[in-house]
Amino acid sequence: MSLRPFSAHAPRNDKLESIVKYLAFILSVLVLSPHISFAQHYPFPQHVQYAKGSIRPSHLTQKQLDGQVTSFYNQWKARYVRKACNANDQCFIWFEKPGNKQCVSEGQGYGMMITALMAGYDHQAKTTFDGLYRYYAAHPAKKGELLMSWAQNYQCKNTDNSSATDGDMDITYALLLADKQWGSNGAINYLQAAKALLGDIMKYEINPKTYTILLSNGAEYDSEDYYDTRTSDFMPSHFKAFAKATGDIRWQKVTDNTYRLFAEMVRHYSPEAGLVPDFIQNVRHPRPAKPNYLEAKYDGAYNYNACRVPWRLAMDYLLYGDSRAKTMCDRINKWLRATTNNNPDNISAGYSLEGNDLPKRYFEALSFIGPFATSASVDARNQQWLNHVWDYLVAFKMKDYDYYDNSIKLLDMMVISGNCWKR
């Protein structure tokens, strides 16, 4: 039996041709459709093994912890992820507070980190993430075109052209998470976008003389605030990821210099409580900011910016085992447990650097409670305290708080439950 050689004039096989065309169509749908579920490399839940000696709530099973996270995430996403004006492929995190702002870059960063980490549980996480990215990209600051303008109004217009350093850094870190979660071979090259954004952050939001963090891209080398810093912009676990992604050793300088700055502030101004103020003036000869320096009369106290510091520090220990982070968290935990008598209901919404409650701040603020809970997870001596604070944090209803408190609560729940992985 001989095989018939191929001929360009051989009879057509219409059935085979139809099958080929159908398969080509299916392939085009898979490639082009934004609604197709992409594979995740780190689907939620992950149950990360954190640094030695760290803990998570022990009175609940891991399944129960994960369930509480996903339940709150469902509520959070339904409330805060919104479609942009006349741009169906863009979305933003709703600012929610009274006034003419509908979005701030800080919230955009929170939302992008959350959705990258919740992929797998949320099969539309990549679509949401890409929409959040496109909104960020559509609202650049004037100086440093890859930085995000810090706020937009209800017409989706930038309220001014300045940036907010913390928002830019969280957006960058979220892009690195996205690269690890989904890869960068799709419509958006996450890794390339992160590296490009890091170039602008280093150029416009890092002081090249002190390697400390500038307040925004608006700080000029000859302005009074050029040597000032906002403590909540210190994100050492992010900086380690930035250094790894780029090979830029300057991020290690930023980390080391800011840890030294914080240690000096604690030594001189908060030896008992271990707290840092919202703003530090003149990092060369540091002091807590004066009242009404930038935002409020408590700018030199542990207020609504600095409240995030224990969460950021704890992440550096949990993910990287940095002993400097644990030293700071241990001091805060010792003071906090003593001043509250191990009762989370006694946590106030703000403290002086001496560790005293700020006047008229005897109310619950999740943006304070959540980071304190995360800091407790660095050491087994805090086990019962962590169990109590977890239950206390989880019990608060979303409807009673705004986007800031609820977003920080969710991020802290994700960390404490073991579901934040290292980029």
* Residues 355-380 pLDDT 10s: 999 999 999 999 999 999 999 999 99
Question: What pLDDT does residue 86 have?
Answer: 86
In a domain, 20, yes or no: no
In a domain, 387, yes or no: yes
Question: What CATH number corresponds to the domain at position 89?
Answer: 1.50.10.10
Would you say residue 350 lies in a domain?
A: yes
Using CA of residue 366, residue 410, residue 104, residue 230, what is the dihedral sign? positive
pLDDT tens figures, 46-55: 999 999 999 9
Cβ atoms of 95 and 102 within 8 Å: the answer is yes
pLDDT digits (tens, 9 = 90+) for 313-334: 999 999 999 999 999 999 999 9
CB 306 within 8 A of CB 295: no
Range in 18-32, 113-127, 143-157 with the lowest mean pLDDT: 18-32
For residue 351, report the phi and psi dihedrals to the nearest 5 degrees. Answer: -145, 150
Q: Is 22 part of any domain?
A: no
Per the annotation, the verdict on 96 as an active-site residue is no
From 274, 280, 292, select the one nearest 372 (Cα to Cα).
274
User: Per the domain annotation, does 28 fall within a domain?
Assistant: no
pLDDT of residue 222: 87
So what's the pLDDT on residue 361?
97
pLDDT grade for 41, boundaries at 50, 70 and 90 = very high
Task: Give residue 98's pLDDT.
Answer: 87
Identify the pLDDT of residue 38. Answer: 67
In a domain, 35, yes or no: no
Instruction: Using alpha carbons, list the distances in angstroms from residue 336 to 154, 332, 391.
Output: 40, 6, 17
pLDDT at residue 95 is higher than 50: yes
Annotated catalytic residue, options 96, 106, 122, 130: 106
Is residue 89 annotated as part of the catalytic site, yes or no? no
Among residues 195, 181, 46, which one has the least CA distance to residue 126?
Answer: 181
User: Which of 96, 122, 130, 166 does the annotation list as catalytic?
Assistant: 166
Could you list the residue range(s) of the whole structural domain that residue 111 is in?
Answer: 40-416
pLDDT given at position 224 = 85
d(CA 43, CA 123): 10
Token pair belonging to 255: 């980390």
Q: Which amino acid is at 165?
A: T
Q: How many domains does the chain have?
A: 1
- Percent pLDDT > 70 in the chain is 91
Asked if 279 contacts 299 with a C-beta cutoff of 8 angstroms, the reply is yes
Tell me if 21 is assigned to some domain: no
The verdict on residue 2 lying in a domain is no
3-state DSSP assignment of residue 119: strand
Backbone angles phi, psi at 377, to 5 degrees: -75, 0
Per-residue confidence (pLDDT) for residue 160, from 0 to 100: 87
What is the rounded distance in angstroms from the CA atom of residue 415 to the CA atom of residue 334?
Answer: 21
**Using one digit for the tens of pLDDT, what is the confidence trace for 242-253?**
999 999 999 999
In the structure encoding, which two tokens stand for residue 49, read together?
A: 């093994």
Average pLDDT, whole number, for the chain?
92
Look at the pTM and tell me if it is higher than 0.85: yes
Asked if pLDDT for residue 345 goes beyond 90, the answer is: yes
pLDDT higher than 60, residue 389:
yes
Residue 10 has pLDDT above 90, yes or no: no
pLDDT of residue 106: 98
